[in-house]
Structure 1
Amino acid sequence: MKAAYVRVPFQVELRDIPIPEIGPDEVLVKVSACGICGTDLHFGRTSAKEEALPLGHEFCGVVAEVGANVTRFTPGDEVIVENHTSLGTSTACKNGEIVYCTDLYISMNAPCMADYIKTHHLALHKNPGLTPVEATLAEPLTVALDVIEEGGIPIGSNVAIFGGGPIGLMALKLAKIKGARKMVLTQSSHSKARIALARKLGADQVFCPDQVNILEALKADCPEGFDRVFITAPPRTIPDAFEITRFGAIITYNGIDFDNGMISFDANAFHFKRLQLRATHSIPNLRYPIAIDLLKRKVIDVNDFVSHTFPLSEAGRALQIAETDKEHAIKVVVVMEEQN
């Protein structure tokens, strides 16, 4: 079978590797489509030349084979697949805290941007009729749901979102549903498609940090301070969030910088302002049923978010477009050839 790996700089290899053999609790999935994530782009920037890294973890497909213990699925079932699945056996799970599960089945150690992938049957959700491209949005949508649910949004809140990538834009839509009064988003000016979508989804203002002083702009826009800040941008933006919030505000952080995660801030100011900083990770993958329902009802519309699709044979070009076409790219999806 074909599977996609990447080396620096964005050199994608389609390797011939064996079709995985499954165990009694596993399922072999024939992949239909796989989204490109920021993690994939990071691999394209930094993977060592001597070690190509596997691509893809936002995927869906069709059950090809089931293990001896699997009864919930049969070959031919269309499924949407988690990449980090709780097996329910950890101490945290037994104490009713599945969000802190450490006993995980991880699919993304192998390339999910491939003809086939094996996974645990607990990772599967039946596809209720979404197209393969729609179904790839379930995983990033669960991340956005985690960001929003962790922070909570009281009705009438003033909300700022740092970062207008797919997760930030989905969070914007979810904030609107939750009852936010004012919604402001920050995004670089070259991302014209993302800025246009932010406005379509209900952003009252979009501020571009390469054009304005973000702190001055946000303070002027909301002098009383934001109730919630959701960060889907690099960690260097966290101290700015502390500056624009009201007393007692909550900041939720999901942005990752693989190269430089260190920040500094005034801990006394943080303390006396009684702020909360909450990290979200979305591992294990939770809230898939909610995400799938939102996609099915087109609350999150694939036509808004997916800007480009490519066949597996053009996975390299797909990765390059996601990285370099800042003006037009929102979400890029690789579709297996027979699905085109």
Structure 2
Amino acid sequence: MMRAAVLRSPGQFEIEERPIPRPGPGEALIKIARVGICGTDLHIFNGHYAADSLPMVPGHEFTGTIEAVGTDLRGLQVGGKVVVDMNIGCGRCFWCRRNEILNCPEMQQMGITMDGAFAEYMLVPARLVISAPDDVPFEVLALTEPLACVVRAARKARVNFGQSAVVIGAGPIGNLHVQLLRTIGAAPVIVMDISAERVEMALDCGADIGVTDPAQLKQAVLMATDGRGADVVVESVGNPALYGAALRLMRKGGHLAAFGLTGPEDTLALPILDTILHENSVKGSVAGMGQDMNDALTLLVHGRIQTDPFTRASFPLQEIQQAFDSIGDRPDDLKTQIVMAA
């Protein structure tokens, strides 16, 4: 038997005993070691997202070891450390062939539309398992999935060295955007958040300029870009008003990376003529998949990301309710992880 944290209803976890599943053909059984709490998990916990999936075991930012594999599988070593791509597509359709799995008509996501990783063991498609080096700590490997989301956003935005970039929001994902933009070679990297503590952490992690007053952001951007505006603006909060502000921060010919999730009815008033005449662009992106996961893992393995701000807060599985309830009271913790096994 194993323990699993079931979200029975918004705001209410229950630890229950379940049989440990057995892998069939094409499947791998993962012994979960660490699981990060994502903003999406918080939306589910608060009843704002995926309510029709409850009761459910959430959790999709996870790492662990291979406990067992099904028949006829090669290349996966029992006991080896792994991370797992959470996005399950059919593998056959137009979108899957293009690695646009979120658009697959049969798409499922571990921990969002189906049971996820807040359990001691989890059964996953073996084709989505990625082997990881044994010498990389689990708390670092658990950052692979969120970093993969940021890798994909930068890839879609076609960020290049020497480009000016603004990141709106200095939470965990905003901080990763800052770090990846700096790694790519964007300069200057400007970050804005109303939390002075999180802006300071973003500056420590590589941002060049930090702004805590939204009213001062545009002037700061113009001063840093010779009055042009930013090459790339990343909205990482999910606020319609901030999306509108992001459009006004772009230079002519600039790019808006739409990343922060809004409500389903929220809209953005796009100045069509300016968009056409200035050759501006907007590109949405939210989840890393396929090669994004491999690239994120490579960056973590080779120390390109400062992970200390993300690994300070951890709770055992039996305290998952407390972990979720207290997140809003711990702004200095960029990430909270649930420890499943050593």
* Pair in the same fold by TM > 0.5: yes
For 2:26, the equivalent position in structure 1 comes to 25
Alignment check: 8 A CA contact 2:150 2:288 kept: no
Matched, 1:166 2:172: yes
Give the Cα–Cα distance (whole angstroms) in 2 for the partners of residues 91 and 153 of structure 1. 26
Between 1:292-301 and 1:81-90, the stretch displaced more is 81-90
Percent identity, aligned pairs only, is 24
**Residue in 2 aligned with 1:225?**
229
Task: Name the structure 1 match of 2:147.
Answer: 141
Q: What whole-Å deviation, never above 9, does each CA across 1:136-184 have from its counterpart, x for those lacking one?
A: 0000010111111111223221110111122221121111122212110
Q: Give the Cα–Cα distance (whole angstroms) in 1 for the partners of residues 328 and 151 of structure 2.
A: 24
Name the counterpart of 1:60: 63
1:11 is aligned to: 12
CA distance in 2 between partners of 1:215 and 1:5 (Å):
44
Once the two structures are TM-superposed, the CA of residue 65 in structure 1 deviates from its matched residue by 1.6
Is the 8 Å Cα contact of residues 5 and 111 (structure 1) preserved in structure 2?
A: no
Q: Residues 214, 152 of structure 1: CA spacing in aligned structure 2 closer, same or farther, 3 A cutoff?
A: same
Q: TM-score, normalised by structure 2?
A: 0.88
**Distance in 1, Cα, partners of 2:91 & 2:236:** 29
Measured after TM superposition, the shift of residue 260 of structure 1 is 5.0
**Alpha-carbon offset, residue 88 of structure 1:** 3.4
Distance, in Å, in 2 between the alignment partners of 1:282 and 1:23 is 27
Question: How many residues matched?
Answer: 332
Report matched runs for 1:70-89 at 5 Å: 70-86=73-89, 88-89=91-92
Equivalent in the alignment of 1:201: 205
Q: What SS does structure 2 have at the residue aligned with 1:287?
A: helix
* SS of structure 1 residue aligned to 2:312: strand
The residue correspondences of 1:1-340 to structure 2 (distance < 5 A) are 1-6=2-7, 10-46=11-47, 51-86=54-89, 88-94=91-97, 97-100=98-101, 102=104, 104=107, 106-108=109-111, 109-129=114-134, 130-189=136-195, 192=197, 194-209=198-213, 212-222=215-225, 223-236=227-240, 237-258=242-263, 261-282=266-287, 284-326=289-331, 328-336=332-340, 338-339=341-342
Distance change (3 Å), C-alpha of 1:63 and 1:18: same
CA contact (8 A) 2:29 2:66 kept: yes
Residue 50 to residue 250, structure 1, CA distance change in 2 (3 Å) = closer
Q: Please report how far the alpha carbon of residue 69 of structure 1 lies from its aligned counterpart in structure 2 after TM superposition.
A: 2.7
Q: Given residue 303 of structure 1, which amino acid in structure 2 is its aligned partner?
A: D
**Residue 98 of structure 1: SS of its match in structure 2?**
coil
Instruction: Give the letter aligned to residue 199 of structure 2.
Output: I
Contact 1:235 1:263 in 2 (8 A): no
Q: Which runs of 5+ in 1 are unaligned?
A: none
Cα contact 2:152–2:288 (8 A) shared by 1: no
8 Å contact 2:9–2:54 — kept in the other structure? Answer: no
Amino acid paired to 1:16? E
Given that residues 228 and 252 in structure 2 are in contact (C-alpha distance below 8 angstroms), is that contact kept between their aligned partners in structure 1?
no
CA contact (8 A) 2:310 2:333 kept: no
**Offset of residue 248 of structure 1:** 0.6
Secondary structure in 2 aligned to 1:238? helix
Secondary structure in 2 matching 1:125: strand
Counterpart secondary structure, 1:299:
coil
Q: Distance in 1 between matches of 2:238 and 2:213?
A: 13
SS in structure 2 at match of 1:315: helix
**Change over 3 Å in CA distance of 1:146–1:51 after alignment to 2:** closer
CA deviations over 1:217-268 (Å, ceiling 9, x no partner): 4345442110111221214122211111111111111110246533334333
- Structure 1 window deviating more from structure 2 (58-67 vs 101-110): it is 101-110
Residue 202 of structure 1 and its aligned partner are, at CA, apart by 2.0
Determine if contact 1:321/1:329 at 8 Å carries over to the other structure.
Answer: no
Moved more, 267-276 or 29-38: 267-276
Task: Indicate conservation of the 8 Å contact 2:145/2:288, yes or no.
Answer: no
Give the distance between the partners of 1:186 and 1:33, measured in 2 at CA. 30
Are the counterparts in 2 of residues 87 and 122 from structure 1 also a CA contact under 8 Å? no
Any idea what SS the aligned residue of 1:46 has? coil
Give a deviation string over 1:1-28, Cα, whole Å, max 9, x none.
2111335663322122232343211111
SS of the aligned residue for 1:69 comes to coil
Give unpaired runs (5+ residues) of structure 2: none
* 1:63 shift after superposition: 1.2
Q: Which letter maps to 1:332?
A: T
TM-score (norm 1): 0.89
